[in-house]
Amino acid sequence: MANEDKWVQLVSKLNELTQEKKLIWQGPEAGRFTSGRTFRDFYAKYKDKGFRIRDSQPYASRPRKVSLDIVDGVDAENILFTIPDVVGIADLCDSIIYQRAGIKDLLDDLMKE
């Protein structure tokens, strides 16, 4: 249980840094599995490593699946470690999509009108 808490705290911290624009994500890069299921990858660098979040869209009877990996800072396709599937990863992905789409800036501008 203590080990899972560590991963939940990591995901929560990444979400906080994303929402505060202290961690900037790149992407999405779209792809397709051989099964036909599509996905979007987002990347963020942190020191000499990086993070990749993969948002696999619902397909056939399979629900949305979001995964988070620690990747090499130079070669983002080189997965160093896959974060266990813990609470908050889908929320982090939604925050990234929100950040990349500029929704916060749009809402802030609208509220100033």
Q: Nearest Cα to 54, choosing from 19, 22, 87, 85?
A: 85
Mean pLDDT within 25-49 = 95
Q: Nearest Cα to 19, choosing from 107, 85, 86?
A: 107
Instruction: Quickly state the pLDDT bin for 13 (edges 50, 70, 90).
Output: very high
Mean pLDDT within 7-30 = 96
pLDDT over threshold 80, residue 29? yes
- Please tell me the predicted confidence (pLDDT) of residue 2: 65
The helix or strand, by DSSP H or E, that contains position 80, with its residue range, turns out to be strand 79-82
Tokens of 101: 């789409």
**Residues of the chain with pLDDT > 90: what percent?**
78
- Please tell me the predicted confidence (pLDDT) of residue 28: 96
Mean pLDDT within 28-52 = 95
Number of domains in the chain: 1
Instruction: Quickly state the pLDDT bin for 9 (edges 50, 70, 90).
Output: very high
Q: Can you tell me whether residue 30 is helix, strand or coil?
A: strand
14, 17, 18, 76 from 22: Cα distances, Å: 9, 5, 6, 20
**Structural domain of residue 15, as residue ranges?**
2-112
